[in-house]
Structure 1
Amino acid sequence: MTGDPAGSPPPRPRGRPRSDAADTAILAAARELLATDGVAGAGMEQVARRAGVSKVTVYRRWSSKEALLAAAFESAGAGLPARTLDGGGDPPSSYDGLTYSEMARLIDDALPTAADALADPQYRALLAAVFGARSTHPGLLAVFWEHHVLPRRRTALVLLERATAEGHLPAGTDVEALLDMTVGALVYRLLQPGEIDRDELLAYLRRVYRQAGLIPPS
């Protein structure tokens, strides 16, 4: 991942292979600091110290604080529905061989793991930190939006467009607005005070996704 919000993650440099253990430690440290101390307390030096590596080691992997924190957030959301359903490619070519029902079933199967992630207090703290950085660290939100939100949005829009074309949703459905309302409902639920029960959240996810046409009727 690069510090350029519109850029793509650069290829891994040649030379000595990167240490997976260092990658894991750095991302875990970044998640912990972002969740507890916010963006201001999750600088490259602080992350390196928490991870037990040098600051140079961190910079070899991520060229900026924004890129590192966006990658940390993405690693925390590994259980969320995939950027693309088949694991590669960009919509719509990735889904040429799938019907709406097949795509919707894949998303439905992913919802239990998504509920695990969304019910995790650390994940919700990370989400609050990223959205709270809109004014103070707009670069972080831009990288997060480009690499975390938009790929999943494109996946969902392809599915909703196919649902409309196949008659599962009314003709003329405004899929952009429908998707915004679906995400808004989820954010509204996550913002409510108190603990979040994972099973209740899963049931709510299924209700909202089913109502929006993102998963098949029960």
Structure 2
Amino acid sequence: MNFNLSGFLNVFRLAAKPSLCLPHATVSTFGDLPSPLDRAFEVQGKKCNIKAVVLDKDDCFAYPDTNEVYPSYIERFQQLRKAYPGHRLLIVSNTAGAKSYDRDGRLAKELESATGISVLAHRVKKPGCKDEIMAHFKKHPETGVTHPSEIVVIGDRLMTDMMLANMMGSWGIWIKDGVKPLSQKSIFSKFEQRLGPMLIARGLHALDPSSPFE
């Protein structure tokens, strides 16, 4: 069973501040990500300096429970690798690399082999692993990341990926439709697809990442 204690505990935080789960930008699929990524926020008049990307896997760039990049997204995936080389592109999954689920790290190694991208080994699942993510970038100073506002989180889930982005002080891009048809998605994903637009209609919005230089 892939129980997410971090997600369960942070539901109470979300109840107090629903905007924590909202994205800064939304696209339908991974293939619709703008290039460069900064353009996703320009339409809102927001300026950012994205130096690194935290990338979800399941129903984001890959079909759930597989490691291969979904065929339609291969070109965009390679563009992202070129734009954010080396450790500037990091996969953070609640399956591969999550020590409570991937105890021996086998899934992480298989995913790294299939994608050529580093997979974060983390004790706390999303959305609570912000410290472990920042420790990764601190360990790799060549990325140039000195502050969470220089990171964008890309994923298909509001209450894990987008909540992680807001709690970390980063940018979030929501992959709303993903790979799986809506009829095959989990009850949680279906709920989030209604929740996001409802909260936005109420006038709520994602938290603005604050740069230390502002």
TM-score, normalised to structure 1's length?
0.26
Higher Rg: 1
Greater fraction of residues in strand: 2
Which structure has more relative contact order (CA 8 Å, sep 6+)? It is 2
Greater fraction of residues in helix: 1
